Amino acid sequence: MNTNKKSPGSYKAKEMYLLSGLIVCGECLKNVGNAFSMMGNIKFSGRSKLKYVTYCCENRDRTKECKNPGLRREYIESYALSQLKEKIFNDEAIPLLAKQLNEFQSSKKTDNKEAKERLEKSLEGIERQISNIVNAIASGISNTPLIDKLEELEKQKLLEVRSPN
């Protein structure tokens, strides 16, 4: 129960809003210059208290500046899903999306290779410094700053080894 208290509002919501926080209010963007998100909202209206589910601008209730009425969930979600189906989930777009995903994945691999090479060079430098200090101590040169530097380099080496590739 304690973890549920800290969870986001979408976890506690009784209704599922697919586009909540993803769409912005065009009225506020035009008039105020800020893009306020539109959030899901339930109202019961009429004599029979019918459920009316809308997406409303978060600026509307807070500042009363927005004059944009709520948009019906059925209309906006069906429009968004039809656009997704038309533009992304069609036979022509799938090869293009697969190509773009493969390019993105390969760019991530090269980024990881570069980071790995950089970490390996850094580790080599640290090991070289450690061996120099150990050789100096072994030859009889022993003082506190030298030993402190050796401990610091050992800690740095452990951090370099533990860092993700």
Residues 66 and 28 both lie in one domain = yes
Q: Give mean pLDDT, residues 33-37.
A: 77
Structural domains of the chain, count? 2
Residue 151, amino acid: E
Q: Distance of alpha carbon 158 from its chain centroid, rounded?
A: 28
81, part of any domain: no
Residue 123, burial from CB neighbour count under 10 angstroms (0-12, 13-18, 19+): middle
80, part of any domain: no
Residues 56 and 107 both lie in one domain = no
Nearest Cα residue to 76 out of 55, 97, 58 = 55
Q: Which pair of tokens denotes residue 2?
A: 């304690």
CA atoms within 13 A on the CB side of 56: 17
pTM here is 0.50
48-62 pLDDT, tens digit per residue, is 888 888 888 888 877
56, part of any domain: yes
Instruction: Judge contact between 62 and 25, C-beta under 8 A.
Output: no
108, part of any domain: yes
Q: How far apart are CA 23 and CA 55, in angstroms?
A: 9
Q: Residue 24, SS3? A: strand
Q: Range of 20's domain?
A: 2-74
107-152 pLDDT, tens digit per residue, is 888 878 888 888 888 888 888 888 888 888 877 777 788 788 888 8
Residue 82: the pLDDT is 92
Instruction: Judge contact between 149 and 165, C-beta under 8 A.
Output: no
Instruction: Judge contact between 127 and 78, C-beta under 8 A.
Output: no
